[in-house]
Amino acid sequence: MPETVLNIMIGGEAGQGLVTIGQLLAKSLVRAGYFIVVTQSYQSRIRGGHNTYTIRVSPDEIQASQESVDLLVALDKQTIDLHQDEMSARGLIVVDEAFDRRGDNYVLVPYKQLSPERFANIAGLGVLSVMLGLDGPLVATAMDEFFGKKNEEMVKQNSQVLVGSRAWAEALDKSLARRLPAVTNPQKRLLMNGNEAIALGALSAGVKFLSFYPMSPATSIALTLAAKAEAMGLIVEQAEDEIAAINMALGASYAGATAMVSTSGGGFALMVEGVSLAAMTETPIVIVVAQRPGPATGLPTRTEQGDLEFVLHAGHGEFPKGIFAPGTIEQNFYLTRRAFELAEEYQGPMFVLTDQFMADSYRAVTPFEVADLPAVRPIELQILPKMNYQRYAITESGVSPRLLPGYTKHVIGADSDEHTTDGHLTEDLAVRVQMQDKRYRKLTGLSAEVTPPECRGEEHPDLLLVCWGTTRGAVHEAATRLKTEGRSVGTLHFSQVWPLVPEQFMNHLNGAKQVVAVEGNATGQFARLIRTTTGFHISRQILRYDGLPITPEYILKNLASV
Amino acid sequence: MVSFEGYGNYETAWCPGCGNHAILEALKKALVTAELLPYRVLIVSGIGQAAKSPHYLNVNFFNGLHGRALPAATGAKLANPDLNVIVESGDGCNYGEGGNHFLAAIRRNIDVTLLVHDNQVYGLTKGQASPTTAEGFVTKAQPAGVPSIPFNPVAVATAMQAGFVARGFSGNVDHLSDLIVKAMAHPGFALVDIMQPCVSFNKVNTFAWYKQRCQPVSEDHDPTDWEQAMKVAFTWGDRIPIGVIYHNQRPAFETHFSALKRGPLIKQPVNTTKLAGILESFA
């Protein structure tokens, strides 16, 4: 691991303001030109418990989280007990002097002297920012922006605490500093997490309607869009349940609004009949599923890649769909856009599969040039009547021309029953076969537009690591470290996991001496999908399903045993 | 030109003597009276015999899932408030499978007209009890008689102060048609619960049974008087009142969305300047 990388963990009870320290520090670091990867670990409760906000930071690009901790800011004693075994050799633990801890690796902060109790987190931020060598004004500005919306008195008091705690920290012994290498000429980057990038990608695509029912870790997608609804002219509606959410979105899409829903596994289970309805009525919809460990309620605030097969097979009957699995914040943005494009082009359900790790992971990203990205227009508003318009006309591509109700003199029908070309229900079994074939033909077009997997490293490596979705960063970093040890390694990352086009990747699988799948689930679902699609059996697998994200260390540690 | 013929004449899959035929006729008459052109009308339905109605009308239609007509209609109305949106489905679809959506639609007060074909039994699945089936009614699925008390949609809607609550009868087409016109004109959620016989599976609540009981509300009934309306809503026995039972002037759901003040959503292009500004706030 390069010495320029530092892993900072802030831990404490819910309600102690640790996310505030984390957010302000993350903002300051990105503005100073650093790359960061945030990992949030929290319990499903409002107050108490044990939560952490971890920022991995480096002047060089990083895309993965790290398990060993270099700087632990423990806001309670429990945090020390739970994480002291994770400390790196040069690790420091920043604690309240009142905790009565002793040792060379402790930084004892006189919180009582530096701040009133309710601003203790800001004192922690002040000390931390000095230890990292961050400029005072940078942190102060981030803080003012954050609290500025609240009240003046609070801003003033916070500001006094920040100045005081920084002054105290300046006097600390130099051995307790963990100054980051300065970034000369810092580039302008945005600080956002995966869910925010999905929301922004949707806005860029021209989303006009989102309906949802709150469920971790998907909720922040809807909240981000709700905050921008007035400015961007869209409707965000909290539905009475997930069943209502998807049916509302389909009604909106049928009537011309570019529509999406966002949920997690349990909520998606309720939506499944609606997925089938989207396919049958050929109504465009983007469905975001943010995974968390199941079955049932599972671990509501943790991460997993356990719903791939569920989403892949969701919906009764047989119909085409596409599933994206972004591996970076940028991919969350661009592939969400792509999902909207394909939903519109192929008139059916398109999925974005993410998880809690990515949903909550703040990172530094190069700004998107949204002015150059065209919105997905549902269709031209065709006012002029065309003769003999048939909503479900049989075509070679399987895609029939879609008009919107109310914008043409034609009446537009959509039916969940098997139907004739004008949308009316039928029990003509020959028509049934024609229609099933027509709908399924869309898979051919969809397959021709698949985003190919990303292959890095040698063409015929001794070891090929295969992964999908949010594990991309960890796998790439593990491969880089193996390469520096002289190993022959390649990686293959899928950001679209369905449809699979074997021609895009079989040469890589066949060309490697050993292939290992890396997945965040218990049974190797993607490896199984590869096998059922291509016959290629990836028997060696590194799996993780304890609710935590896959890290480079986890891969390297487990590689020996596969 | 809006005409009765313009709404089409289709062969239906309904039993001869089914109340659906008369409801379809009343609806067509109402659409003509309201001078609505077919392409301005959207009928959303669920699943059941009643839900087939839009297939027998020349209008836009979205025949969705069992119980889910109201959410789909809500989405469509929000996407394009210029559409006149009607939901048409049965008692099982709206009050059973879609019960939660019925309550939510009333609370939202979305400008949708809900026509419920209420024959107190499941027709398409051949005669099981529905949410409005009388206690003790014997079916093959409930051989010892229905143990639950029936759902009273008119009372529930009135209790929740729905925008517009009415009950009609398929045996009085002109009266029903007039109710539908009023319901469509109401700017908010409007329920018309329509009593109808099921000639195949309900041998108790027959045409004669309804004909004898369904009588217009008294002339001095004031539908803006909620307490009076609650009494009427609970009247069920030898006399079943039909007519407008309750209404109020609560603003329709779609008036609360600032995005819709600029017209239907599809007519609003993405403002990339504003979007660039939003992205800047992440810097």
* DSSP-H helix ranges across A84-135: 111-114, 120-131
CB contact under 8 A, A232 and B104: no
CB contact under 8 A, B64 and A416: yes
Question: Residue A160, Cβ neighbours under 10 Å: how many?
Answer: 15
Whether A383 and A408 have beta carbons less than 8 Å apart is answered as yes
Provide the pLDDT for residue A153: 84
pLDDT in tens, A186-227: 999 999 999 999 999 999 999 999 999 999 999 999 999 999
Omega prior to A2 cis, within 30 of 0: no
User: Which residue type occupies A217?
Assistant: P
Whether A406 and B83 have beta carbons less than 8 Å apart is answered as yes
pLDDT at A408 over 90: no
CB contact under 8 A, A425 and B104: no
Distance CA B270, CA A352 (A): 22
pLDDT in tens, A20-53: 999 999 999 999 999 999 999 988 887 888 999 9
CB contact under 8 A, B65 and A247: yes
**Percent of chain B whose pLDDT exceeds 70:** 100
Nearest Cα of chain A lies from the Cα of B144 at a distance, in angstroms, of: 33
Distance CA A463, CA A456 (A): 12
pLDDT at A421 over 70: yes
Three-state DSSP string of A446-470: HHHCCCCCEEEECCCCCEEEEEEHH
Q: Which residues of chain B have a CB within 8 Å of the CB of A411?
A: 38-39, 58-61
**Residue in A with minimal Cα distance to B83:** A406
B106–chain A Cβ distance below 8 A for any pair: no
Pairing type for strands A322-324 and A496-498 reads antiparallel
DSSP A149-214: TS-HHHHHHHHHHHHHHHHHHHTS-GGG--PPPP-SSPPP-EEE-HHHHHHHHHHHHT--EEEE--
Domains of chain B by residue range: 5-280
CB contact under 8 A, B55 and A424: yes
- Residues with Cβ within 8 Å of A427's Cβ and at least 6 positions away in sequence, in order, are A418
CB contact under 8 A, A243 and B68: yes
pLDDT at A244 over 80: yes
Provide the pLDDT for residue A2: 46
pLDDT in tens, B37-89: 999 999 999 999 999 999 999 999 999 999 999 999 999 999 999 999 999 99
Nearest Cα of chain A lies from the Cα of B23 at a distance, in angstroms, of: 20
**Residue in B with minimal Cα distance to A228:** B278
Provide the pLDDT for residue A298: 97
Distance CA A88, CA A319 (A): 51
Angle between helices A120-131 and A18-31 (to 10 degrees): 30
The interface pTM score, or ipTM, of the predicted complex is 0.98
What CATH number belongs to B5-280?
Answer: 3.40.50.970
Provide the pLDDT for residue A383: 53
Q: What is the rounded average pLDDT of the residues A440-446?
A: 98
Provide the pLDDT for residue B234: 97
Chain centre to alpha carbon of residue B88? 5
Provide the pLDDT for residue A147: 87
Q: How many CB pairs under 8 A join A and B?
A: 206
Q: Which residues of chain A have a CB within 8 Å of the CB of B64?
A: 247, 250-251, 277, 281, 414, 416
pLDDT in tens, B88-126: 999 999 999 999 999 999 999 999 999 999 999 998 899
Among A223-227, A289-293, A316-320, B124-128, whose mean pLDDT is lowest?
B124-128
Provide the pLDDT for residue A43: 85
Provide the pLDDT for residue A561: 83
B64–chain A Cβ distance below 8 A for any pair: yes
B274–chain A Cβ distance below 8 A for any pair: yes
Report, at the CATH architecture level, how domain A6-187 is classified.
3-Layer(aba) Sandwich (3.40)
**Residue in A with minimal Cα distance to B78:** A252
Domains of chain A by residue range: 6-187, 192-372, 381-449, 454-559
pLDDT at A382 over 60: no
pLDDT in tens, B161-188: 999 999 999 999 999 999 999 999 999 9
User: Which residue type occupies A380?
Assistant: E
- Residues with Cβ within 8 Å of A272's Cβ and at least 6 positions away in sequence, in order, are A314, A315, A316
Q: Which residues of chain B have a CB within 8 Å of the CB of A245?
A: 71
Q: Which residues of chain A have a CB within 8 Å of the CB of B267?
A: 381
User: Which residue type occupies A535?
Assistant: G
Chain centre to alpha carbon of residue A91? 29
What CATH number belongs to A454-559?
Answer: 3.40.50.920
Element of type H or E holding A237: strand A235-238
Q: What is the rounded average pLDDT of the residues B249-254?
A: 97
Kindly report the average pLDDT of chain A as a whole number. 95
Distance CA B55, CA B60 (A): 10
Provide the phi-psi class of A103: left if phi over 0, else alpha when psi is between -120 and 50, else beta: left
Nearest Cα of chain A lies from the Cα of B277 at a distance, in angstroms, of: 10
Find the CB nearest A411 among B59, B68, B100. B59
B265–chain A Cβ distance below 8 A for any pair: yes
Do the two domains A192-372 and A454-559 of this chain adopt the same fold?
A: yes
- Residues with Cβ within 8 Å of A207's Cβ and at least 6 positions away in sequence, in order, are A225, A234, A258, A259, A260, A286, A340
Provide the pLDDT for residue A211: 98
* pLDDT tier at A1, thresholds 50, 70, 90: very low
pLDDT at A384 over 70: no
Find the CB nearest B266 among A192, A378, A416. A378
Angle between helices A152-170 and A136-148 (to 10 degrees): 160
In three-state secondary structure terms, B74 is helix
Classified by CATH at the fold level, domain A192-372 comes out as Rossmann fold (3.40.50)
* Mean pLDDT comparison of A409-413, A414-418, A557-561, highest-scoring range: A414-418
Nearest Cα of chain B lies from the Cα of A29 at a distance, in angstroms, of: 11
Residues in chain A: 562
**Residue in A with minimal Cα distance to B81:** A255
